[in-house]
Every structure is written in structure tokens, then in C-alpha cells.
Structure 1
């Protein structure tokens, strides 16, 4: 039977995954493997808890109350809670982490508990009024100094609970000192373990395959919505999570900007378009990322020069990043953008990435909207096992013309390893 075009596209993307590690690169026990949460080993989970408790001890905290709320895309979210629990309930979850003794997780629906026990590393799981249960346990244990940890994955800020929940805590825990522990907890997650890096490498292969499906699905007359749906199929077939998938077509003759659609639409793609994408797929809250730019028909001379400049900066970063390099040194990679007479409209050359954006943020021209975020990292050094995105976003000053090239990887002991093999810095053309 002849394979349809759609079937061939999906098969082509799936072939890029052949030979890669299993979804998590891990070995979960029977009955625990799922598509929402990577099943990290008990040793990995114990190591995380030990590092958290070590920091709690330095700060004199008797307990942490970790709050999880809301996901992004088809991910359960609740990054910080998952980090210690290997699970997160629907909508919201609370996790009480004492300085010594067993962890207790609170969720709302009793019927979810058997499934939670199959997946989570936490044994004591209770249902009901989750926040009320946490307050009662804190009072019962007599804790007087408690750190609050928010959901995580909120760039450049460290919120804990919604105002109503925070007010209820204060009223129910009179005499208990509550302090925001989110910033330092977020920082503990930045140096990745071997198991986490295995998940990120698998995420890179998924993102590569997804982008190949997106490219192969593109033709004049197609829509970004139909292309996104082809990506969705590959994601579903491989149990992938993703927070978003930007895909957009922009006329090179009459451009309206240089940013793809967050919500792809049914507008037909015209010849003479530059396609821009921002795809990030993976497992749980561990995502790789690609920022792609390619063309429907040959690029104009100006768009070709934009692409060549962005590709050079991207490839220079991949070849040149190394541990110990500071934000000030990363700024040197901006030189080709300035030399070409282009601008960097936003974003940074090097940004922390795994479960959405995090530290560090390095490499921004003064024209970049993101330049203020880089100031705290000018003299901060890159460290081995930090996972990053590297991205060059370039535009023509005063005109709505621009594009980007970017990918993801990790700082190693000697340099940089990319998670991606997709040829994002190769100029690719779809013939209309």
C-alpha cells in the first residue's frame, strides 16, 4: 500500500529517533513509566533531597512547603515540586519537606492517590483540603521557621503562593516565620545530574525529529496550523511533552515582523515567505529547544545575509563556549551582528534552559529588550552541567525584517555539547 505524504513525513521524523536512548534514558520499575514524569532513580531523588536539606540547614529552616500549580502546554508543570516528588497532581499540589524524616504530599482528589503512589518517590500521600492539611502538619510538628518554594520556571522572579494562599498560611501559622526559599531552590536545579542530562539528550532528539517533520510539512498553500498538527502527531507517538510550538510564515517582500505565531492559524503560506519556528519537546519538564528559520522559495539577498549572520553567531557559540567563560566574554560573540549593521531585538545569546528560562542570561546588545536581564551575569562564570540555549536573533534596524537561529545544549568540563543534530544553521529552502 502506498504511503501518504502525511505518513511519509511522520515516518521521516520518527526515523531521526531511531537508535536514541529510551524516553528517559532511565530504567523505571514496572508500572511506573508514564508520559508525564521521567522516573528518576531512587538514588537520584535521594541526592536531590540531601542537597536541599543541606541548604535548609545552612539557613536554619525546619521545613519547606513546596507549592506546585499549573502546567504549560501539555506538561504538568510544577517544576520545583516534581524535582523532589517525581509527581505533581492535577491543578495544584503541596509537598512538606522537613529537615529530617519523611516527606508528605497533599493533593485534592482521593481517587488520584493509587496512580500517584505508582509514580511518586513520596510514600506519604494525603488527600483533601491540601493547604489545610499542610498547615495542620506544620502546626502538629511544631515547626517555627518554614521556607516557601513556589512552582518554579518563572523567569527572573521567585513567587511562592497566590495571595489568598499566602494569607491563609499566615493566619493559620501564627508565630511561624515564613520566608521565600524559591530563588535558592531554583538555583539548586541548575547543575544537572547524569540522569537529567540523559533526559535532555533524548529531548534533543525529539526536538530534532519534530523540526524535520515541520520542515517536511511546509509547502506553499499549507498552513502553520496544519504543520503544527503534524508536529503534534510525532509528539504524541513518542510520549513527548512540550510547553509551546511557535510556527509562522512572514512575507519577505512585505514583512510584518520577525516573530512566529504562538498560536498557529489557518492563513495559507505564500511563496516568498520566511518560516520561523520555536520548538521545544522533551519529557516531563525537561525540554530541548530549536529556533528555526527557513524559506519558501529562495531568500532575498537581505534575508540571506540575515540568516548567514545569525548562523555564524550560533555556530561560533557552539564551538567557543566553555566553562569559566563570563557574561562579559560571551558579549564578544555579538560582534558579527554589529559588523553586519544588524540589531539584536530581544533575547540573549546564552540563556539557561531546561524547564523554561532560568539563570544564567548572557550576551545582549544595548538594543536588545533583554539587556537588563544580563547585567547580574556580566562577571558570572559558566559552569559544567549547566544546560543552555544558544540563539542569535538578528533584525534590520528600523525595519520589520529579522530572523533567528538557535539550539540547546550543556556546558561540559572542556567546552559545550549540543543536544541537537538538526541542521538549524544550514540555509534550507522549500521549493514552492
Structure 2
């Protein structure tokens, strides 16, 4: 196992034109192997949050939320959603930023008329075109991201074109990151650790959970990135994972108490390269069941590090990670591992919350088992994974882990700090902070 070191000089890694050429050459070779004349790549809105469908940025190194047309024998054309994107492009060029798509290869907007028109303009009216956006991308897009009306119109405008979904195949092609991308992932992981440390330094009895959330996000922003909204739940025994409830309904954030747990999922994102950090922070002494659960989760984490090696399949890795759970006597809360950059595979787990959680039997029934996604994926150096084992005794959930890169031999562990239960270091308050704005 190799552990990442902190950046020595604080320099921010960037993507060069050589990285652009590496990616575009991969895309052209992919099209040649599959007999494709072009790729049509749909991208999701830039504020999509964790695990976005942002394949467009892999081609453009630009703002997310575009549609890319990439002819095999030409340069990609980027379709923009609105004029603000052209203004940002112009200002970035004026400042001397590295721009991958020149102005003459931009179009606007990205509706069906412009998509069809661009394909015709490039002589692709009767072409074989690989499409990224039609296939499932769970959990957010179980049947793809392309709107029915847009796609129906494109098909009607180009009846002689042969469209083929290629997202899964392209995903596997781009998962092994290049050297410049790995440098960016290391930087993202460093920022993620700083976010978690800020949360640990803030959390204490009497402190509103929103201040812990704010401390983590501020640490990310201060280091030059815009993290996706983190998942955070608190309480003596929270068994949930998602955005804090006060972010989507009008209610006050909880005030932390002695004996509470802060359970969080922190997402760091630098230039479209993502890292993930599983966080369990205790306020005061941890419950004995939490200690036991953490021991099992840590054993699974160590098994994952041993398993993440080139040539193995993702399914093999999942089986190894879950082996410590077999006779432990507790239960597994969620998947213990999934891919990053992009998120196309996730470990299976028994989805038996209705049996384990009081009151869950009144909710719609869930499948008894979540199978492993892309179990046949063969590991290659440069692939990135969120290794996030979890385990529960009673209602005490230990969720820990971080980002791991598959190395040439040993895995590269980027976040050993969060591969353990953490202890809050903030200053306790006599009562909750004044949350009023008046």
C-alpha cells in the first residue's frame, strides 16, 4: 500500500494540451475500433451534485452542462446551453487559461434543432454515431439523461443515421486516469481531508450541526474548489445518509449533544476529478457498539486495500471486502465500495433495512439484495475507488474510508485519516448558538 503525501509547495495541478490530445486520441481509437463515425455526448447540469453525469467535461476541460459532437476525423464541437457560457469562455481565453475548444467550434444552444443541425453540418446525417446519455446511470438516471422530446426530434431529423449507446464502454475506457489526472485526484483528496479536519475541529456539544457543515464546506472553498453539497446527519444513533433535512425543508439544524455522532459523506471535486470521504465523528466517548462496528468496518477496509490490485475483477474485490461481515453478527448499511471518475460500478449488499430498522416495515418494500454493478470490470492502474465500508450493531453505524487509486502493484491510499472513527475537537458551548437573523 502506498500513502499519498501532501503537496509540498501548494501548487495546483492543471490539465495541459498534452492531456487533451491523450483523451482525444483515446476517443478516436475507440471510434475506430467500434466502427463509429462520431460520438454524441450529453452532459448533465453543472449543479447536479455528487456523481454527476459529466462526460462532456472529459472532452472539453470546460464548464459542465454542454453537449459534445466529436467526429472521428475532426475536432469536437461543443453545444452550449446559453450565452453566459460564451462570455465565460471569452474571459477565460483573455486571461490566458488553457482552452481546449476554440470559439469556432462552439454552437448555441443545445436543443434538438442545434444537435441535428450540427450533425448534418459535419456530414454525419447517415453516419454511425455512438451516444453517451441513453443508457442507465444509477441511481439518479435509471433510464438515461436524454429528454424524450429532444431525442425523438433528433431521430426524426436524422432517419438515416445509426445511433448506438456507448456510455458504459466509454466509461471503462476513461476510468484508468492519466498522470495529470492522478495529480488532480491527489489534490482533491488533500482538500477533502482538510474539509474533514475542519469539521472535527468545529464539532462539539452545544454547536449547531450547520456550523460543522459550514466549516467543512468553507475549507473546500478556501482551497480553490466548489465541493458538492455534503451528506450529513447527526444524533445519538443516526441511520441515514443524505443531505441534512434543514437543506430541503424549513426547520432548524440540530444542536449537537454529548454522545452524538456526526455521520457525513464529504465530496471534493477539483476540475471534474472527484474524491469521496466517509466520516464518523463522535462527540465524547463513543458507544461500545460503535467501537465494535468500527472494528468490523476497518477489517473490511483493510481487505479492500489488499484486494484493489491490477488484473482482479471488481466483483472479486467486493467479495473480499464483505468477507469480514460474514460472522460478525451485525449488519451492513450500504455498499462498501464504488468507482469514481466516473461512478459506474458499486458493490452489492443485502438491502434488509425493513428487518433491521424499527418502523421500516410501514415503508414500500425494498429488494432483498442489491447486486454488484459491473462485477466483471477488470482493475487497471489509474482507476479510482471510494472505499467506504460500513457496519452496524444495534443502531450504531460506523461508516469510514476514502479514495484509493489502483497502482501498478500496490494500491495508493489517499485518505487514511478518514479510515477510522474520529473524535470531535471543538469547544463545547453551554447552549446552542443563536440561529436567528434578526
Q: 2:114 aligns with which of 124, 133, 143?
A: 133
The alignment status of 1:283 with 2:270, answered yes or no, reads: yes
Q: Give RMSD over aligned pairs.
A: 2.9
Q: Which residue of 2 aligns with 1:406?
A: 401
Match of 1:259 in 2: 241
Classify 1:62/1:332 alpha carbon distance in 2 versus 1 (closer, same or farther; 3 Å): closer
- Counterpart pick for 1:62 among 30, 37, 51: 37
Q: Deviation at 1:315?
A: 3.0
Q: Deviations over 1:214-244 (max 9, x none)?
A: 0111011112211111122212211212222
Alignment partner of 2:160 out of 161, 167, 175: 175
1:340 to 328, 340, 345: 328
Are the structure 2 counterparts of residues 185 and 415 from structure 1 closer, same or farther at C-alpha, using a change threshold of 3 Å? same
- Taking the TM superposition and a 5 Å limit, the aligned residue runs for 1:384-423 are 384-396=381-393, 399-423=394-418
**Cα distance, 1:48 vs. partner?**
1.0
Q: Which runs of 5+ in 1 are unaligned?
A: 1-15, 27-39
2:372 — aligned with what? 374
1:245 aligns with 2:222: no
1:12-411 equivalent positions in 2, closer than 5 A: 19=8, 21-23=10-12, 25-26=13-14, 40-72=15-47, 79-88=54-63, 92-110=65-83, 112-116=85-89, 118=93, 120-123=99-102, 124-131=104-111, 132-143=113-124, 144=126, 145-150=128-133, 154-155=137-138, 159-251=144-236, 255=237, 257-259=239-241, 261-263=243-245, 266-326=253-313, 327-328=315-316, 330-347=318-335, 349-355=336-342, 357-359=343-345, 361-362=346-347, 364=349, 372-374=370-372, 376-377=374-375, 380-396=377-393, 399-411=394-406
Distance 2:282 2:378 in 1: 37
The worse-fitting range, judged by mean Cα deviation, of 323-332 and 228-237 is 323-332
Q: Distance in 1 between matches of 2:29 and 2:351?
A: 40
How many residues align? The count is 392
Q: How far is the alpha carbon of 1:194 from its aligned partner? A: 0.5
- Deviation of 1:188 after TM superposition, in Å, equals 1.8
Q: Which has the higher strand share?
A: 1
Judged with a 3 Å threshold, the aligned counterparts in structure 2 of structure 1 residues 181 and 336 are, in CA distance, closer, same or farther, namely: closer
Helix, strand or coil: the match of 2:183?
helix
CA deviation after TM superposition for structure 1 residue 298, in Å: 0.7
Give 1:325 shift: 2.8
Q: Report if the CA contact (8 A) 2:217-2:227 is conserved.
A: no
For residues 101-120 of structure 1, the C-alpha deviation after alignment (integer angstroms, 9 at most, x for no partner) is 22222224345325325253
Shift of 1:207: 0.4
Q: Deviations over 1:108-157 (max 9, x none)?
A: 43453253252531123334343323312322333212222229993375
Q: Following TM superposition, by how much is the alpha carbon of 1:406 offset from its aligned partner in structure 2, in angstroms?
A: 1.4
Unpaired stretches in structure 2, ≥5 consecutive residues: 247-251, 354-366, 429-438
Question: What is the TM-score normalised by the length of structure 2?
Answer: 0.80
- Using the TM superposition, give the Cα deviation of residue 317 of structure 1 relative to its aligned residue in structure 2, in angstroms: 2.4
3-state SS, counterpart of residue 297 of structure 1: coil
The one-character-per-residue Cα deviations of 1:356-407 (angstroms, maximum 9, x if unpaired) are x223x34645859795341641x543222110011211123xx433221111
Change (3 A) 1:280 1:152: farther
CA distance in 2, matches of 1:50, 1:18: 30
Deviation at 1:209, TM superposition (A): 0.4
8 Å Cα contact 1:296-1:429 kept in structure 2: yes
